[in-house]
Structure 1
Amino acid sequence: MPRYDYRCRACGSTFELSRPMAQASDPAQCPDGHDDTVKLLSTVAMTGGSAAPAAPRASGGGCCGGGCCG
């Protein structure tokens, strides 16, 4: 179940709620009982089986690989 971060405008505390995506935009009450809260934009961290990025080519050429950059 996704977790969403919220901030209470009344007391300034931040808190997290686990709820279904269908309820993502429903109002959330802060743990201190205030109703004036806002959902925060959160970042997504991906971990797992992806390989490391490939090393840059040794052929030179700068940003486009063709030597057109001065």
Structure 2
Amino acid sequence: MPRYEYRCRPCDATFEVSRPMTESSAPAVCPAGHEDTVKLLSTVAVGGSAESAAPSSASGGGGCCGGGCCG
């Protein structure tokens, strides 16, 4: 079940709520009972490493001339 992160405006607490995706836009009450909360934009972790995502300088990729547009 997905976890959604919220911030409470009155007490500035951050908390998470597990709920089905069909209820992702439903309001959430903070643990202190405040109803004035806002859903935060969560970042998503994707498998792999930064090294595997970055082009290698030996591959010739990246940059204008490395990509072959300087004909």
Calculate the TM-score normalised by the size of structure 1: 0.75
Q: What is the CA distance between 1:67 and its match in structure 2? A: 7.2
Indicate the residue corresponding to 1:63 in structure 2.
Answer: 63
Unaligned segments of structure 1, at least 5 residues: none
Q: Give structure 1 regions of 4+ aligned residues with deviation exceeding 4 angstroms.
A: none
Deviations 1:13-61 (A, max 9, x none): 000011100000001000000100000011001125xx924523366x9
| Count, aligned residues | 65
Q: What secondary structure sits across from 1:44 in the alignment?
A: coil
Calculate the TM-score normalised by the size of structure 2: 0.74
Indicate the residue corresponding to 2:14 in structure 1.
Answer: 14
Structure in which a larger fraction of residues adopt helix: 2
